[in-house]
Structure 1
Amino acid sequence: MTDHPSTFKGEDTHREGVQWDDRAEIHSAEDGQGILDGGKGLRGGTLAQMVAQVMAYPPAERGRFVIQKAGDHRLDLAEIEALAARDDFPG
């Protein structure tokens, strides 16, 4: 899970495993995405920080949020919970 290459014909940009330090934002699951989606983030930081933040919410509230990771990957609750349950999760 990595960002898209940052340079034209970027070499050596894929790293194995979860990149916990990649940029990410928490969004409302119902924010509609769209052209102005970049401005709809509720909180930003590293992927590890955003996973920990969503998991800190009460269980009944967690489904209201998604994480949008750099590289246009949108994580729903099931994927967030799976990341939080990993042995290598730094949270």
Structure 2
Amino acid sequence: MTDHPSTFRAFTTKGEGVDWESRASIHFKDDGGGVLDGMKALYRGGLGEMVGLIRRMPADQQGRYVIQIMGDHRIGIGEILSLAARPDFPG
């Protein structure tokens, strides 16, 4: 999994598109966040892997979860399904 800065010596090092290998975790949608939020992760892995896990869940359960990525950014079910529909999705 990559976790690198976006620039090096003033040149961009981050490629275009989605970094499917970036660190991510699945959480319950309403887990409350907080100081111990990292301990509430249900699954951890690459972004592509986490999107695939939720995509394979029954449709009536998918909305119960979010994916959290770097910087405490949470991705809801709409964005998760959009990512899963991308032609470059690895799953």
The interval holding the TM-score normalised by the smaller chain is 0.7 to 0.9
The Cα shift of 1:33 comes to 0.6
**Map of 1:33-48 to 2, 5 A cutoff?**
33-48=33-48
Please state which structure has a larger fraction of its residues in strand. Answer: 2
Contact 1:21 1:46 in 2 (8 A): yes
Is 1:62 the counterpart of 2:52 in the alignment?
A: no
Match of 2:79 in 1: 79
- 1:71 partner SS: helix
RMSD over aligned CA atoms reads: 2.0
Runs of 5+ consecutive residues of structure 1 not aligned to the other structure:
none
Q: Distance in 2 between matches of 1:4 and 1:30?
A: 30
Number of aligned positions between the proteins: 87
Deviations 1:34-74 (A, max 9, x none): 11101110000100000000011100000000000123221
Sort the Cα spacing of 1:83 and 1:47 in 2 relative to 1 into closer, same or farther, 3 A.
same
Runs of 5+ consecutive residues of structure 2 not aligned to the other structure:
none
- 1:15 partner SS: coil
Q: Distance in 2 between matches of 1:13 and 1:38?
A: 28
Percent of paired sites with the same residue: 53
- What letter matches 2:45 in structure 1? G
Sort the Cα spacing of 1:83 and 1:18 in 2 relative to 1 into closer, same or farther, 3 A.
same
